[in-house]
Amino acid sequence: MLAYGQATDSTDEYVKIGQSTSIESMKRFCRSVVEIFLGQYLRSPIAIDVAKLLYIGEKRGFLGMLGSLDCMHWKWKNCPTAWAGQYACRGGSPTIILEVVADYDIWIWHAYFSMPGTHNHINVLESSHLFSNLAQGIAPPIRYFIQGI
């Protein structure tokens, strides 16, 4: 269901389990992923994380750099027909845009999937919370990280 974006009834035909079993299995899987990875991987960066990234960026000559920002267009093969127009890109096929900030270790600190109607990078960045959070000053001065080394 996750890999192909299929409904429970099509999963039933392939796996030979009932709809309610498919739904319950999906819920258990998602709960397990969150429970296992919440503390380390599914958390927002804390002040020390941001300070560390800023420090490393400064050492490498990039003042104020937290990581590399990129937007990626994924073609949505199984997009419902009723939604196709809302997610259409310039080529006409439905896509979902993923905005990601990754650091030097390829640790993903920020990920945001675009909403319907956002078809270019500028619109994704405007609807994302990334820059509004940074503008509020969530990053502490670099000296806080250096003192903790």
pLDDT in tens, 136-146: 665 544 333 33
| Same structural domain, 39 and 74 | no
Residues 13 and 78 in one domain: no
Domain shared by 49 and 19, yes or no:
no
Closest to 47 (Cα-Cα) out of 147, 146, 119, 144: 144
Inform me whether the pLDDT recorded for 32 exceeds 90: yes
121 and 63 within one domain: yes
pLDDT tens digits, one per residue of 89-102: 777 888 888 888 88
| 110 DSSP β-pair partners | 101
Kindly tell me if the per-residue pLDDT of 12 is higher than 50. Answer: yes
Q: Are residues 11 and 74 in the same domain?
A: no
H/E element, 144? helix 142-148
Q: What is the mean pLDDT of the chain?
A: 77
pLDDT band per the 50, 70, 90 thresholds, residue 85? confident
Q: Which domain holds residue 136?
A: 44-148
Instruction: Indicate yes or no: pTM above 0.85.
Output: no
The per-residue pLDDT for 136 is: 66
Is residue 93 located within the same domain as residue 142?
A: yes
66 in the same domain as 136? yes
Look at phi and psi of residue 39 and say left if phi exceeds 0, alpha if psi is from -120 to 50, else beta: alpha
Residue 26 and residue 36 in one domain: yes
